[in-house]
Amino acid sequence: MSTLQKIAELEAEYAKTQKNKATNYHLGLIKAKLAKLRRELIEPSGGGGGKGGEGFDVAKSGDTRVGLVGFPSVGKSTLLTKLTGTFSEAASYEFTTLTAIPGTLHYRGARIQVVDLPGIIEGAKDGKGRGRQVISAARTCNIILVVLDVAKPATHKILIERELDGFGIRLNQEPPRIMFRKKDKGGINFQAFVPQTTLDAEAVTAICREYKIHNADVHLRCDATVDQIIDVVEGNRKYMPAVYVLNKIDQISIEELDIISRLPHCVPISAQHGWNLDELIDKVWDECKMIRIYTKPKGQIPDYTAPVILHSHHPSVEDFCNRIHRTLISSFKYAWVWGSSVKHQPQRVGKEHILADEDVVQVVKKSG
């Protein structure tokens, strides 16, 4: 039986099993088995079924990478062209774009790489179309713009999320507060620090056993689900911000626009007419937590044209150093900082100091 058939069979079994406390244990095991099979699909272990597994080769450039993901003909290529000026063919037929096409958007001194991806179809996660490549490319981005046709946003949104989810991408979710650590002996040490509605020691032990893990610490600091436990055990999940771009609003009424604009994480636009693109770019900036830090070489004025971009609302001086060069921190002595994060201008700080947007930093290295 092929992996896809096994997946279909388990999905059918899951669907027909009643969902209640008594079957929880059994359902958890089905989910773990499914997760293992899906992983085989994503990273085929040598031989058969591996073709098309690699993502598109797009040289990473710029400070932030934005991926455009969506069904065919929703307007991804039109959006890329409008945002970056890079031409990506747009046409009224489906699957116009067949490979990843990057463009660059310059905004507030940052270089934002926008990658137009081929349209994905339902079943992409199970190897249909170029879905696997599209989704692997999506994993390399800082943020995903899920582009939706405003005429059918809700159904498409769910389908796309399901495809990405099957590939280990979790949109707009925090990693679960679960500590999981494999050990050599001692069995499964299960501790729940908050009351659990669905999980208990027995269910967690069973999932671990499914993964042939017999000794581990599992500490739950959230009301965890089976899926979250599996995510932590699998370990290769990617938690990414996403914005739902509702395109083609030129096709709907003001009343309809008013309703859809209230959806969380959504930005309504018209790529063709260039409507509301500023709000979209601002949203990307916020969701990617982009902070600009200017460098000041000793005895020179700061370079305000090329900020170092950090992706954190609370970046430390150490994060800043690591962004410049991975060895810089080992020779770090202290830094002078000008800007809103310090009281005195300049102020001498250590590597733990938290920087703010548009601070100026001068690193002083140890001598010798």
Contact footprint for ligand GTP (CB under 6 A): 70, 72-78, 90-92, 94-97, 118-119, 247-248, 250-251, 270-272
Q: Helix, strand, or coil here: 223?
A: coil
Residue number, 102 or 119, with CB nearest to ligand GTP: 119
Residue number, 132 or 353, with CB nearest to ligand GTP: 132
Shortest separation between residue 77's beta carbon and ligand GTP, angstroms: 3
Of Mg ion, ligand GTP, none, which one does residue 127 interact with (CB within 5 to 8 Å by kind)?
none
What 3 state SS string does 303-353 have? CCCCCEEEECCCCEHHHHHHHHCCCHHHHEEEEEEECCCCCCCCEEECCCC
| Residue 97 near Mg ion by CB under 5 A | yes
Residue number, 78 or 84, with CB nearest to ligand GTP: 78
- Which residue lies nearest Mg ion, judged by its C-beta? 97
Helix (H), strand (E) at residue 143: strand 143-149
- Interface with Mg ion: number of residues (CB under 5 A): 4
- Which residue lies nearest ligand GTP, judged by its C-beta? 119
Between helices 131-139 and 153-166, what is the axis angle to 10°?
A: 80
Shortest separation between residue 101's beta carbon and Mg ion, angstroms: 8
Query: Among the candidate windows 42-50, 97-105, 188-196, 301-309, which touches Mg ion by CB under 5 A?
Result: 97-105
| Residue 81 near Mg ion by CB under 5 A | no
Between helices 24-42 and 226-234, what is the axis angle to 10°?
A: 40
Amino acid of residue 279: E
Shortest separation between residue 61's beta carbon and Mg ion, angstroms: 20
150 closest CA partner among 265, 242, 283, 270: 270
Of ligand GTP, Mg ion, none, which one does residue 92 interact with (CB within 5 to 8 Å by kind)?
ligand GTP
| Rg of the chain (C-alpha set) | 24
Shortest separation between residue 246's beta carbon and ligand GTP, angstroms: 10
Shortest separation between residue 57's beta carbon and ligand GTP, angstroms: 19
Q: Residue for token digits 């272990």?
A: 45
Residue number, 24 or 272, with CB nearest to Mg ion: 272
Shortest separation between residue 244's beta carbon and ligand GTP, angstroms: 14
Of Mg ion, ligand GTP, none, which one does residue 87 interact with (CB within 5 to 8 Å by kind)?
none
Shortest separation between residue 190's beta carbon and ligand GTP, angstroms: 46
Out of 4, 24, 25, 96, name the contact with Mg ion by CB under 5 A.
Answer: 96
Out of 77, 113, 276, 362, name the contact with Mg ion by CB under 5 A.
Answer: 77
Amino acid of residue 92: S
Q: How is the beta sheet containing 188-192 ordered, strand by strand?
A: 178-182, 216-220, 188-192
Give the integer Cα–Cα distance in Å for 219 and 223.
11
Shortest separation between residue 73's beta carbon and Mg ion, angstroms: 8
Of ligand GTP, Mg ion, none, which one does residue 99 interact with (CB within 5 to 8 Å by kind)?
none
In this structure, are residues 170 and 239 in contact, taking their beta carbons and an 8 Å threshold? yes
Q: How far is CA 129 from the centre of its chain?
A: 22
Residue number, 98 or 151, with CB nearest to Mg ion: 98
Burial of 83 (0-12, 13-18, 19+ CB in 10 A): buried
Residue number, 84 or 205, with CB nearest to ligand GTP: 84
Amino acid of residue 11: E
Residue number, 96 or 140, with CB nearest to Mg ion: 96
Give the integer Cα–Cα distance in Å for 191 and 353.
35
362 CB-near residues (< 8 Å, 6+ apart)? 295, 296, 297, 298, 335, 336, 337, 346
Of Mg ion, ligand GTP, none, which one does residue 173 interact with (CB within 5 to 8 Å by kind)?
none
Residue number, 24 or 96, with CB nearest to ligand GTP: 96
**What is the token pair recorded at 126?**
């199970």
Shortest separation between residue 87's beta carbon and ligand GTP, angstroms: 11
For Mg ion, the binding residues (CB under 5 A) are 76-77, 96-97
